[in-house]
Amino acid sequence: MFSTICFLYLLGFLLWMNTSQRAMRENMPGITGYLSGRLLLNSALIVAFFLAALLMSVYLFGLGSGVFSAIVVLMTAGSLSVLLAPFKYLNFWILCAGYLACVFLELFLL
């Protein structure tokens, strides 16, 4: 479940970065290019991802620890996406592959 929380925050931040005025919209592949033109839908998805991750964190850790861990993971995901996304190290497929690897490790090794 913790992998899902991190995945939702990273996905939300990547979508949020694409709404920037500095984002190069002509190079955006597939779904990110589609969502960059529809800011209301993009904003609704970002809020849904962040809210779902916050609620999952509160459910998993309790109210105080859940909010604190959500803030820490939110700051970490934001820093990671700002650091790695301009170099094209983070895209949707790499993020999904990393998520599946983390879920596999979380379910079968822990």
**CA 88 remoteness from chain centre:** 15
Q: Is there a contact between 28 and 88 (Cβ–Cβ < 8 Å)?
A: no
- Find the domain containing 9 and state its range: 2-108
Domain count, the chain: 1
pTM of the model: 0.84
Q: Reply yes or no on whether the pLDDT at 50 is more than 90.
A: yes
Single-letter amino acid, residue 9 = Y
Q: Reply yes or no on whether the pLDDT at 23 is more than 60.
A: no
pLDDT level of residue 26 (50, 70, 90 thresholds): low
Q: Reply yes or no on whether the pLDDT at 25 is more than 60.
A: no
Q: Reply yes or no on whether the pLDDT at 14 is more than 60.
A: yes
